Amino acid sequence: MIGHFGLHIAIINRSGGLGLDYRLVKVISRLVAITSLVIPWWAAQEIGSQILTRSGSMAVPVGWSVYGAVCLAVWVIFGIPWLLSRPLLGIGQVAARREVEVVRLGRGDSGRYTLTRRAAWLAKAPLNQMLELAVEKIELPVVGLPEGLDGYRIAHLSDLHFTGDLAAAWTAEAVERANAFGPDLMALTGDIIDAPDCLRWLDEALGHAEARDGCYFILGNHDVRRVLPQGVRDEIVRLGWIDVGGRGVPVDLSGRVGGGGEAAGRGDDRAVKVPAMIFGNEAPWHPPPVVDIASAGGANFGESAAGSGVGPFRLLLSHSPDQIGWARRHGMLLMLAGHTHGGQGRLPLIGPVLSPSLHGTRYASGDFYEPPTTMHVTRGLGASRLVRIGCRPELSLLTLRTG
């Protein structure tokens, strides 16, 4: 039975990472949810009837024997990797210092942020943390980080999900807190608009974002569902954000040497410009960027080339953490991703169970190191299903450190 349900959960998770049309993903998820219940009932009826009608030994039908073997194999194929990826074990994760402030914005004033009856009701549901914003200040060690970027600050937002259920004021509040952090760079990693009417919200939600080296964004799978992606891009660009979807942009980052980059001592640091390339990968829903190998000083961006310090510092904005393999092959030293919502819900000790990823829940949220790439996956700000249990919305405020 455990293997049976594990197989069905694995199918649901991985269908969300294939780049399929969202309507097909919905059909697959619903069919799999139905068969997860129908198959045990069917097996109980067929095998149970044999137990009641036979007094001697019972021969299990071949079909059920094969399916039973498949379910047992799931323990090895999916079960062992799933157990090893539990957040409690910390395997493959980066030991990053975290300072978390929980801001319960909906307490006593949920009406300011909820626009529909469904949202208002769910915001008050027991255990639901959809209006509890976790402002997470993270000291993130990055292997291969240039000396001048020690202390560099990035505000990372993702998965805003403007569906019409939560007001633009929710995102606007998060952006104000990001501005107060004094970021050198702000990054938005997709899933912004779900409903066409919400395009007009972008000004209120994102128009006041500020960062020394600019605000950069890409789109996600939800941005192609009911709206024209180019319309979303044009509107966000109009607000002063820089679109890096499917391309790389050269930039000189505002680095510092001499004082460690702490905010209190920035005046004593010596300002330097650190050459960098910021890439945006929206795959599998859009083509990945083409990396100009020659300009990076190496013929192969494997682990050795990327870790050698040759060429500009590479930062990747990716909607899905599934692009970690692409990031490694192309020498990205830092990758920021979202999409998985932290699993939308997390069980005590066990952690997340559902996550739309080819890797299941392995990269549902947190900080990871897959040489040469350090990856931060945020739980995102929105709640597209308006339910978050043990999985608060997250505003990631990253301070980069030499790893």
Average pLDDT, the chain: 88
From the list 50, 29, 78, 74, the residue with the least C-alpha distance to 359 is 78
Q: Over 80: is that where the pLDDT of 261 sits?
A: no
Distance, CA of 161 to CA of 381 (rounded, Å): 8
Distances (CA, A) of 212 to 24, 90, 181, 382: 42, 34, 12, 25
pLDDT of residue 49: 67
- Give percent above pLDDT 70 in the chain: 88
Q: Over 60: is that where the pLDDT of 195 sits?
A: yes
pLDDT of residue 258: 73
Instruction: Please write the tens of the pLDDT for every residue from 308-350.
Output: 445 799 999 999 999 999 999 999 999 999 999 999 999 998 9
pLDDT of residue 268: 56
Using pLDDT thresholds of 50, 70 and 90, give the confidence band for residue 108.
low
pLDDT of residue 303: 39
| Mean pLDDT calculated for residue range 17-22 | 88
Kind and range of the H or E run holding 257: strand 248-257
pLDDT of residue 265: 46
Radius of gyration of the chain, Cα coordinates, nearest whole angstrom: 23
Give alpha helix (H) positions in 284-385: 303-306, 324-329
391 three-state secondary structure: coil
| Mean pLDDT calculated for residue range 64-69 | 90
pLDDT of residue 36: 94
Sheet of 248-257, strands arranged across: 248-257, 270-281, 313-318, 334-337, 373-377, 366-370
Distances (CA, A) of 123 to 108, 119, 165: 11, 6, 11
Give alpha helix (H) positions in 165-228: 168-180, 202-206
pLDDT of residue 58: 62
From the list 33, 59, 57, 34, the residue with the least C-alpha distance to 46 is 59
Distance, CA of 147 to CA of 303 (rounded, Å): 19
Mind listing the domains of the chain with CATH numbers? 2-51+63-84 (no CATH), 97-402 (3.60.21)
Q: Over 60: is that where the pLDDT of 78 sits?
A: yes
Using pLDDT thresholds of 50, 70 and 90, give the confidence band for residue 263.
very low
